[in-house]
Structure 1
């Protein structure tokens, strides 16, 4: 636990939501179970193994000591969450959590909920993916975007702020989509955003009729029973991409499954949609560094072909 304590002792006072310590990456032996996140003004400490009350007391002391140095006039607010088969709980350890709880990232505002569920409303490991979308849309402007598995629509908020013409958000969770609409309202970007509460695999007609799209974002859960299982369902999405993409459109494919590597995505793409060409792998935030990049979050950018030449042949990729 010493590496976590060292990180707490030297952590900054963040203004944006971000990860502070990522033991899950395996770079800190003995701390693989720990993650510390800042959702200002709340700290969220997560353990993926059961934790003793003595350890929690030690961590509380460390957080309190550092907080006195960072912001002595403000109360310490922190939440502990344990995610383990034999012990799953969320506890408010000190202070309080705002309601509504709104955090910032790169000038965008998002509602989060750190006292319920394992997903807090904003995936911090996807920060560079959102920055890529912002830069991509700003560079081209007026793009039409399809955001599949939109969750709380953070990608959509960023795209609209960057000048997208229209974003179609699709997710089967009414609760997540409601928060997504609130996120758009928070940022004043409701105009031009659509919200479809549907099972993606049962609503291709509506999705297709709203296309083609200049950018398609695919960020599914790696395994969610009744919704998406990457090993069998990702292929269904890849087959649809060529008909959904506008000429020279981009597809941002995301996969957060440690057991599946980049080749899992790329080999299927080469088989199912070979006309899409791999452009780059978007780097993860530095704090999410992993001993095995193949185990970490994978975010790949593909580009579709351009318009056919007058002779009927497609341009070279």
Structure 2
């Protein structure tokens, strides 16, 4: 089926989101997925609305000129906005294509986007690979905003602190954002400032393992007994709400993040940082990880620490991120302990 037909169909399914853009009575949301290619007909092609721009991304195969022009035409008929194409089809996912001078300048400029009335910094091309806000995590930010009033919040693997910003806007009294990237945390500080909540938020540049273990009151150790580099010192502390959203795989001298084989190495200390009666939100974005098996492993880990799960709430991605048989790769569950 032609991409123009597939994209036109996808846009029709987002009619409510598109129409809400002009509804002054609703909190503004101008960033959402327009075409989720894996499910909607072109594997590896994603198209998003990011504020006053369209963003096209390819992850498997580069679009040819005819395909790109066809997509341009459909998007511009929906809204006459700049169209940025990031071809990330190389194995390392770095953007490999050049843009026209004017579009390139726009892509590298700071923009402001909105989600449920919360403002976020956006730059469609920057020193990293991914957009500065992961749109499929909208449901996570909504949950945190709704459940953070007068609470303390720990946001691990915070990236640009979208979760932390939502918590602060929701009335949290303290938000601690932890990420290894100074670039991501700088973007997170901008997000907090855009919403006037910077006084509530802390931004700690650290490997997650030493940060988590210190907060949990555990000893910081190295993997394979290697000499430890310096890391920010933190005192043991517990939080009302802990948000755990690790990458699929990452390795450092402090430990290995492995969402397929060893989620527990992060989850166990994260549970220790969660207050009695508090909530820990766990995320796993690996498609091949079975949802129920993963959930049962979390419950077992909680019980091994002499605690119990008193309430469970699954957070399902919104309809602009469709999935096969409602089995979305991104699994998010909130556990009250």
Mark yes or no: TM-score above 0.5: yes
Cα offset for 1:254?
Answer: 0.9
Instruction: Name the residue aligned to 2:26.
Output: none
What residue is the counterpart of 1:189 in the other structure?
A: 197
Select the residue among 71, 76, 94 that pairs with 1:59: 71
Q: How does 1:247-266 map to 2 (within 5 A)?
A: 247-266=276-295
Distance 1:254 1:168 in 2: 18
Number of residue equivalences? 291
1:104 is matched with: 114
> Hey, what's the Cα distance between the residues in 1 that align with 2:78 and 2:161?
34
Partner Cα distance (1:135, 1:90) in 2: 40
Are positions 1:89 and 2:96 aligned together? yes
Q: Can you give the 5+ residue segments of structure 1 that lack an aligned partner in the other structure?
A: 69-75, 305-317
Q: Kindly tell me: are residues 263 and 273 of structure 1, through their superposed partners in 2, closer, same or farther at Cα, counting changes over 3 Å?
A: same
Aligned to 2:324, which of 277, 291, 298?
291
Which structure has the higher relative contact order (CA within 8 Å, separation 6+)?
A: 1
Question: Where in structure 2 are there 5+ consecutive unaligned residues?
Answer: 22-28, 217-234
Query: Is contact 1:276-1:302 (8 Å) kept?
Result: no
Indicate conservation of the 8 Å contact 2:108/2:124, yes or no. no
Post-superposition Cα deviations, 1:92-116, rounded to whole Å, max 9, x if no partner, equal 4675347221111111111122123
1:246 and 2:279 are equivalent in the alignment: no
Distance 1:132 1:223 in 2: 25
C-alpha displacement of 1:90: 4.6
Could you tell me how far apart the structure 2 residues matched to 1:81 and 1:16 are? Answer: 20
Q: TM-score under structure 2 normalisation?
A: 0.79
CA distance in 1 between counterparts of 2:207 and 2:325 reads 33
TM-score w.r.t. length of structure 1: 0.83
Map of 2:62 onto structure 1: 50
User: Which secondary structure does the structure 1 equivalent of 2:272 belong to?
Assistant: helix
Aligned-residue Cα RMSD (Å) equals: 2.4
